[in-house]
Chain A
Amino acid sequence: MRLKYVLNEVLVGLWRNVTMTIAMIITLTVSLTMLGASVLLYLQVDEMKDVHYGRIEVSVFLRDDVTDAQRTSLQAALQRNPLVKSLTYENREQAYARFQRIWSDSPVLVTAVRPGALPESFRVKLKDPETYDKLAAQLKDQSGIGTIVDQRELLSKVFAIFGSVQKLALVIAVTMAVAALLLVANTIQVAAYSKRREVAVMKLVGASNWFVQAPFVLEAMAAGVIGSIVAFAALYAGRSVLFGGPSGALTTVLTPIPEGNMWLMLPLLAAVGAGVSGITAWFTLRFYLRV
């Protein structure tokens, strides 16, 4: 009976002030969508770091006039080095073959480069990609080295961009959340005002505080849950657009978002949406009803 009463009050409450309810749900939705996007991106970047950092190499390019003795001594030094996990040597022909393969889409570029124009190199995989600086310092004294290229540096630039996008999404999420919370507080005040007679009688006859507050708090929480469901749908649709098929805008840049991470967003957003708006409603009532 009491449950039925409370649920009925929630529905009536949401419907009584439907324009405010919609405004509240929209702002909650935008905020939660941004939050979800931010969390997904965060998880994604983390995962990509694992994948890519496992693959990256340090390329030690040799000078054109490198002697056999220099090459042998460098190879021995790298093999002895405790930071190095594995080492491969690439001569000029192999470098050219690889170049042709990578740039096969651009025949003009391929024909412009003569075989033998590319330097030979040692491809070094480090046990820990973060130790690049140490390796570079240790190789400083070796002769015959042209340049050393750390792929990690390139990757960090890419990840820095993702990081900024993620932070931007988080900032938007927080800003919209503030707007959403103000709307929740206002909606609850209006609801409490329109039910002030009932509330007065309830307090008079000794209804418990939770019984007076529950319909209002649940009303806010229901809006939060609805907002989170719409936000989840938006994220799902967004993923389909950005990653769907070969033409998806982000397929080449990001690894695909796993289904598991995606579905994790639904309970996460629902909990955040319901929790935050419920607590806001409860605080509003404490000041407004003084129950």
Chain B
Amino acid sequence: MIALENVTKTYPKASRPSLDAVTVGIEKGEFVFFIGPSGSGKSTFIKLLLHEVQPTSGRVVVNAKDVTTMRPWRIPHFRRSIGCVFQDFRLLPNRTAYENVAFALEVIGKTKAVARRVVPEVLELVGLGGKEHRYPHELSGGEQQRVAVARAFVNRPLILLADEPTGNLDPDTSIEIMRLLDRINRTGTTVVMVTHDSNIVNQMRRRVIEIESGRIVRDQARGVYG
């Protein structure tokens, strides 16, 4: 599903590479934590998968497509197979929960009729039934992140990337979000989550990949934060 082959990424003007000859493979349906200190290269990993940055050397393969050689005009379509959730939610403040999710459908060419059918369904799935018409500022942090998860998942992507999704949430809310991601993972979606949250990693007991200074220092099938 995801494969990095000997990938090195050095940003211009950086003294050392953010990722240094990393090779890693993630199978379909896996749930993987990426952990490591700030600046260790976790975010670069996410950006490589989204084709936001290009590797300096090596190959990045996502959904059996070589991202490194992908033509720029194919990237938008490619991104539709990946859902993304971020620490800061990235919701549109002037749109309701329903509209935020529907927006993601509309801009990739789905009709309003499709949105009317699919959006309530996915909002129900993330536990926001009845709050469709609230604006982000009328929702709690956890609820806002649920909207973001709904938006990421509404296209039924093959991969869900979560970049510190619980970074702004209290422990109880974080656990609820993790249950949600776990549920999405059980539908067959590959989930890749970057986090600092040791409690969550220890509770979930999933595969843990630890990065330090751009190198993988640990890759454990049912790991803990360490």
> Which residues does A use to contact B, with CB under 8 Å?
1-2, 5, 197-198, 200-209, 211-212
Contact = CB atoms under 8 A, between A and B. Distances in A.
A198 B94 CA distance: 10
B79 A198 contact: no
Given A1-B112, A206-B77, A201 B103 contact: yes
Contact of A204 (B77, B79, B112): B79
B120 to A, nearest CB: 18
**Nearest 4 pairs of A and B residues by beta carbon:** A206-B79, A206-B80, A207-B107, A205-B104
B78 A206 contact: yes
Interface in B82-136: 84, 90, 92-93, 103-104, 106-109, 111-112
Contacts of A212: 107
30 contacts: A1-B106, A5-B106, A197-B90, A197-B92, A197-B93, A198-B92, A198-B103, A200-B90, A201-B92, A201-B103, A201-B107, A203-B79, A204-B90, A205-B79, A205-B80, A205-B104, A205-B151, A205-B155, A206-B76, A206-B77, A206-B78, A206-B79, A207-B108, A208-B76, A208-B108, A209-B76, A211-B107, A211-B108, A211-B109, A212-B107
Contact of B77 (A5, A203, A208): A208
Contacts of A203: 76, 79
Interface string B149-172: 001000100000000000000000
A161 B93 CA distance: 61
Contact of A1 (B78, B90, B111, B155): B111
Secondary structure class of chain A's binding surface, majority of residues? helix
Given A205-B80, A205-B155, A211-B109, 14 more contacts: A2-B106, A5-B106, A197-B93, A200-B90, A201-B92, A201-B103, A201-B104, A204-B79, A204-B84, A205-B79, A206-B78, A207-B108, A208-B108, A209-B73
A24 B108 CA distance: 31
Contacts of B73: 209
Contacts of B107: 201-202, 205, 207, 211-212
A104 B149 CA distance: 93
